[in-house]
């Protein structure tokens, strides 16, 4: 496994999906997701949700406020 833990990965998943992370963080998360059976389903759910929201927001990127609200909902 990589040095990054599951909690850190899931906290950064939206930034990962948005391409907002630096190269090293992106690679660490990518490696963790490839190796961790526990994070895989959670990541896949968030990836699918991200894709759905992005498709519904044809005007451009997901607004920051909406992304934060959705992330709070996912945490709850």
- Helix 39-56 to helix 23-35 angle (10° resolution) is 120
Name all domains of the chain by residue range, CATH numbers in brackets: 6-75 (1.10.10)
Cβ atoms of residues 15 and 21 within 8 Å: yes
Cβ atoms of residues 64 and 71 within 8 Å: no
Q: What is the pLDDT of residues 15-72, one digit of tens each?
A: 999 899 999 999 999 999 999 999 989 999 999 988 887 787 766 677 788 888 888 8
Whole-structure pTM value: 0.65
Q: What is the pLDDT of residues 12-24, one digit of tens each?
A: 998 999 899 999 9
Q: 60: which 2 tokens?
A: 């451009």
Give the containing element (helix H, strand E) for 71.
Answer: helix 64-75
CA distance 64 to 30: 23
Q: 26: which 2 tokens?
A: 């992106």
């Amino acid at each position: 496994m990589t040095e990054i833990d599951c909690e850190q990965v899931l906290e950064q998943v939206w930034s990962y999906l948005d391409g907002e992370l630096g190269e090293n963080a992106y690679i660490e998360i990518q490696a963790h997701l490839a190796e961790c059976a526990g994070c895989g389903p959670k990541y896949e759910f968030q990836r699918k949700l991200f894709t759905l929201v992005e498709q519904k927001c044809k005007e451009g990127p997901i607004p920051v406020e909406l992304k934060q609200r959705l992330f709070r909902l996912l945490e709850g």
